[in-house]
Structures are given as structure tokens and as C-alpha cells.
Amino acid sequence: MKKQLRKKVRFAAVAIVAAMLFGGCGGSEKDDPPSTTRPTSTATATTPAWQAKYSKAELKAYENALAAWNNYLDASEPIWAAGKQTAGAKKMFQTYFVPWQVYYAQLGFYEKHGLTRTGRAKVLSSQASRIELSKDSGAVTIRQCLDSAKSLTVTQNGRLVRPATLEPQYQTVELDRYKSRWLIVKLTESSGESPCAA
């Protein structure tokens, strides 16, 4: 009986983490609908409406924060695909996250349970939901609508893990600027409770 219960608890934990990471989305804030165009720091006739409430300096901060997030995605993709805690993986998380230990521990969960994640969710839209700047610091929250149905694959011990949802979902990424570096401080993903559309 105890053995069966442990097995069910372990499976449930694996399913939750896999769904959270496979969903590739999150956030439940009620913001304006995200724009489907790439943001620019200059006002034009095609400028998304959400950009109107921000200054050029704030939009530049958003672009820099978004670039930091995309750099993390590039650097982490092979690490999640390998699903192993290594010195290189630890250094990568230390480079992009505060606190880095949370996400490095998540990778340890992957390794312990034979999980891997390959590919990347397709970004359907991206916008800032918060931009705060001061002389020496800044904070940006990025809200994205992501579709991971065809571009992201999670496996456990070589077997495909079914996604929690096939619908596009919201994800929020919070970044803070420390001196000249943007670091990820919080990532909110969804396993199906925050659907979105481009």
C-alpha cells in the first residue's frame, strides 16, 4: 500500500512539474490584450496601443529586458534538453536568475525523474505589463502569449509526456536591473488556467 502511494505521489509531482514547464505559459493578470507586433521605441502609426503609456526610455528598458530573457532561452535550451545538473548549467542559472537556486533545483528534479524538454514555445505576442525605472535600477514585467503545442516536447525516460493543454497560454517574466544587467527574478507559467489568443 505504501509503495503504491509513493508511486502515485511521485507520478503526480512529475506530472505537475512537466505540465508547468511544458505549458510554457503563465500569469493571470488582467492586462490589455497583448500586441502581435514587435515593439519599437519610436511612435508610429503601427505602434501597439500598450506602448503609448510608456516613455522611450521605458520602452528601451523593455527591449533590453526582453533581450535578456531571449538570451536565457538560447542558453538554457540545450540544458533542459539534456536534463542534467552540471557545473555549466549551474553557471548559466547564476548568470540569468536571482535566485538561481530555485531553477537549478528544478533541473535537479528533471534529472532525478528522467525528464527532458526540447524545443521552445512559439511567441504569439509580447508586451510589457509593468516598467519601473530609477537612476541605478529598474524592473520590467513581460507578458507573453505562447503556443507550445507543436514546438515544445517533454519526455520522461524517453517516453513522451502529454501536455496539460494544447491551447496557447500566458506567461509572465519579471526582470530586475542590477547595475547594467537584467536578471530574471520570477517566472509564472500556466498549465492550462490562463488561455490566450494572438
Which domain range does residue 65 map to?
2-188
How confident is the model at residue 114, as a pLDDT? 98
How confident is the model at residue 20, as a pLDDT? 45
CATH of the domain at 58: 3.10.450
Is pLDDT of 27 > 80? no
Confidence band of 9 (pLDDT split at 50, 70, 90): very low
In a domain, 197, yes or no: no
Secondary structure (H, E, C), the chain: CHHHHHHHHHHHHHHHHHHHHHHCECCCCCCCCCCCCCCCCCCCCCCCHHHHHCCHHHHHHHHHHHHHHHHHHHHHHHHHHHCCCCHHHHHHHHHHECCHHHHHHHHHHHHHCCEEEEECCEEEEEEEEEEEECCCEEEEEEEEEEECCCCEEEEECCEECCCCCCCCEEEEEEEEEECCEEEEEEEECECCCCECCC
How confident is the model at residue 39, as a pLDDT? 45
Among 8-17, 54-63, 87-96, 158-167, where is mean pLDDT lowest?
8-17
Tens-place pLDDT, residues 30-88? 334 333 344 444 445 688 999 999 999 999 999 999 999 999 999 999 999 999 999 99
In a domain, 193, yes or no: no
In a domain, 167, yes or no: yes
In a domain, 148, yes or no: yes
| Span 174-191, average pLDDT | 92
Q: State the residue for C-alpha cell 547594467.
A: 180
Confidence band of 25 (pLDDT split at 50, 70, 90): very low
Q: How far apart are CA 174 and CA 65, in angstroms?
A: 9
In a domain, 196, yes or no: no
Could you tell me if residue 122 is left (phi over 0), alpha (psi between -120 and 50 degrees) or otherwise beta? beta
* Grid cell of 103 as nine digits: 531553477
How confident is the model at residue 29, as a pLDDT? 37
In a domain, 171, yes or no: yes
Tens-place pLDDT, residues 93-144? 999 999 999 999 999 999 999 999 999 999 999 999 999 999 889 999 999 9
- What single-letter amino acid sits at 163? P
In a domain, 194, yes or no: no
* Grid cell of 191 as nine digits: 498549465
Confidence band of 179 (pLDDT split at 50, 70, 90): confident
How confident is the model at residue 59, as a pLDDT? 97
| Span 183-191, average pLDDT | 90
Q: Total domain count for the chain?
A: 1
In a domain, 195, yes or no: no
